[in-house]
Chain A
Amino acid sequence: MLKIKDLTVNVGTKEILKGLNLEVKAGEIHAIMGPNGAGKSTLSHVLSGKSGYEVTGGSITYNDKDLLEMPAEIRAREGVFLAFQYPVEIAGVTNVYLLKAALNAVRKHKGLSEVDAMDFLTLVKAKTKALDMDEKFLYRAVNEGFSGGEKKRNEILQMAMLEPQLCILDETDSGLDIDALRIVADGVNALRSGKRAFIMVTHYQRLLDYIKPDFVHVLADGKIVKSGGAELALEIEEKGYGWLEQA
């Protein structure tokens, strides 16, 4: 599904990613771990098409297409979803309107008709309930005045509605208490399928207790320095990142 080859990325004149390689297949869950400043967020942002990053070398192919050629909205319509580390508050735009506009944009791209208003409401209410969110959230401005946990749940709600193929979770566990973490993890686990892949970018192992990865990669100084199975995360939890950076 996703092939990242020798990716190098600059922010300004500073090289952040220095030859990153990663391959993700449908059905897999990959965790990208690493110390602060390793380039984790840069990787998430470059995948989602955020501006301000200059790709200086390498390639990213997604479903055999050149991902880097696509504007952010086309990536989203093609099934790439970024759950933000810091979801943006948008005053005056209701959650329900964003969800509907987004869903219809994706459907239109796929050649489907606009979603029926009643069907949409039934669907969104069911998904909201599944994430233990009050229906009132739907009619509030996007993320405005939401707690940290509510914002992250809202990201997962959007993900559940858009049914993407490649889900990128950027530090989704940050700012969550244990109850909120469990709800978010349940939401993600419910979306696991053989057709969908996940990339979880996280500093801590904690999230991986709830969402078990197939692969764990350690990103340090712009490169993946070690890859392994779920047990690698436990090793990192125990030993920290220092021993890997030296390696």
Chain B
Amino acid sequence: MSISWLDDFRQHAKTQFEQTGFPSNRLEDWRYTNVSAMAKKEFPLATMASSPVFEGSKGGSAFHFVLVDGFFNAELSNLPKTITVCSINDAIKNHADLLQSKFNQAITQTHGFIDFNTANFTDGLFIHIAENGVLDKPLQIIHVATQAAILPTRHVVILEKNAKATLIETFSSSENNAYLTNSVAEIFVGENADLTVYKVQQESETAYHFGGNYVQQADNARFTHHNFALGSVLARTDIVCDLATAAECELNGLYLGSQKQHLDNFTRIKHLQPNGISREFYKGILNDRARGVFQGRIVVAEDAQRTDSKMNNRNLLLSNEAEIDTKPQLEIYADDVKCAHGVTIGQLDEKSIFYLQSRGIDEATAKHILTFAFANEMVDKIAIPSLRESVFNLLLTQFPEGAER
């Protein structure tokens, strides 16, 4: 079935992509991340898997929306009954007017990954929470990759006035395959609505990952994002938020790279109207020859008086060959604002290592304990106990004896 409005978007994006391809690192926002090796892999587009090897968990603490190789799998999923949640392909049929009114509207600036996604997305999540609606349990979007392919998924998330929800988005693979995740979410947080998103990226070590959240926040809307970038050989996350009057945005992140991993975190918070608040706190730990990128841009438009914004990026380099490129940027066009930003790059504190050694703890364990503690500050911010525990345990596998199980 062909839907003409969507076909127009797809066709336009396809043309665009054919002209530009995946982003070149001549582009300012991509200067630290070179995707040409990835582009050369020429992954085929994923097809619907016949028999997924993944077993859904129907635990009671969260709803599940399972995407296997980019296709919604209803059997493995467990969706809320009282809230509109379906695959985007269902929404194209059943919620056409609403979807059409929002589709592509949160994306103010495009690039090759987004164009590719718009042209080719196979499936994704559609969620619409009506005015005053509350999603009473977190909804976990579970991406599972089984194919050596490109897996483009598109989500549209709409919270009307006063609505409240928590989403968890996890990325992992059943095989140790090379593949490319390409996930784009358009998010509309209505007036005084409140959305929290947790992203846990633990793709296979040879996988490539692009995941972007493009967020429109209405007056007094709150958006909180926690980004755990753990897996993949090359990963890029975009978090782009546009804030109306008195909207609040909190972005937390932890990127943890080892071997030859490359983890790029691009964020842009745009205060368009007065009285907005934004808080951004990203931490990076880079070992071996890993490379981390933090780009944090805060834009305060001329009308956005009394904006209150803070950004902090702290990095721990555990090896001489590890690298971090960090670029906090403030672009301020209003005159009555409070904006602060800070960046630190350092190694583990020798005094702390010696203190632990002087208590009988060997140097290697002392380093694990201190590294774990550095990372755990971000894990502690997870409000869902079961999720906090699972991320905590993921960290422990990297830093055994870093903490007590």
Residues of A within 8 A of B (CB): 48-51, 71-73, 75-77, 81-82, 84, 87-88, 90-93, 97-98, 100-102, 105-106, 109, 141-142, 158, 162
Contact = CB atoms under 8 A, between A and B. Distances in A.
A100 B404 contact: yes
Given A91-B373, A92-B373, A92-B376, A101 B354 contact: no
Interface string B379-405: 000000000000000000000010110
A158 B357 CA distance: 13
B355 interface: yes
Given A90-B352, A101-B359, A105-B361, 20 more contacts: A49-B358, A72-B354, A72-B357, A72-B358, A73-B361, A73-B362, A75-B358, A76-B360, A84-B355, A88-B349, A88-B351, A90-B355, A90-B370, A92-B376, A92-B377, A93-B369, A101-B356, A105-B360, A105-B365, A106-B360
Contact of B360 (A73, A84, A90, A93): A73
B210 interface: no
22 contacts: A50-B354, A50-B358, A71-B363, A72-B357, A73-B357, A73-B358, A73-B360, A73-B361, A77-B360, A81-B358, A84-B355, A91-B377, A93-B373, A97-B403, A101-B356, A101-B359, A101-B365, A101-B401, A102-B356, A102-B360, A109-B360, A158-B359
B22 interface: no
B292 to A, nearest CB: 20
Interface string B49-90: 000000000000000000000000000000000000000000
Nearest to B404: A97
Contacts of A77: 360
Given A88-B351, A88-B352, A100-B404, A49 B359 contact: no
B316 to A, nearest CB: 12
A162 B359 contact: yes
Given A90-B370, A92-B377, A82 B356 contact: no
B375 to A, nearest CB: 8
B25 to A, nearest CB: 35
Interface residues of B, number: 25
A109 B360 CA distance: 9
A55 B376 CA distance: 39
Contacts of B363: 71, 73
Judged by DSSP, the binding face of B is helix
Contacts of A142: 355
A98 B404 contact: no
B9 to A, nearest CB: 46
A15 B351 CA distance: 23
B266 interface: no
A105 B351 contact: no
Contacts of B30: none
A88 B358 CA distance: 11
A82 B358 contact: yes
A76 B358 contact: yes
A105 B362 CA distance: 8
A94 to B, nearest CB: 9
Nearest to B359: A102
B251 to A, nearest CB: 20
B103 interface: no
Contacts of B362: 71, 73, 105
A146 B374 CA distance: 19
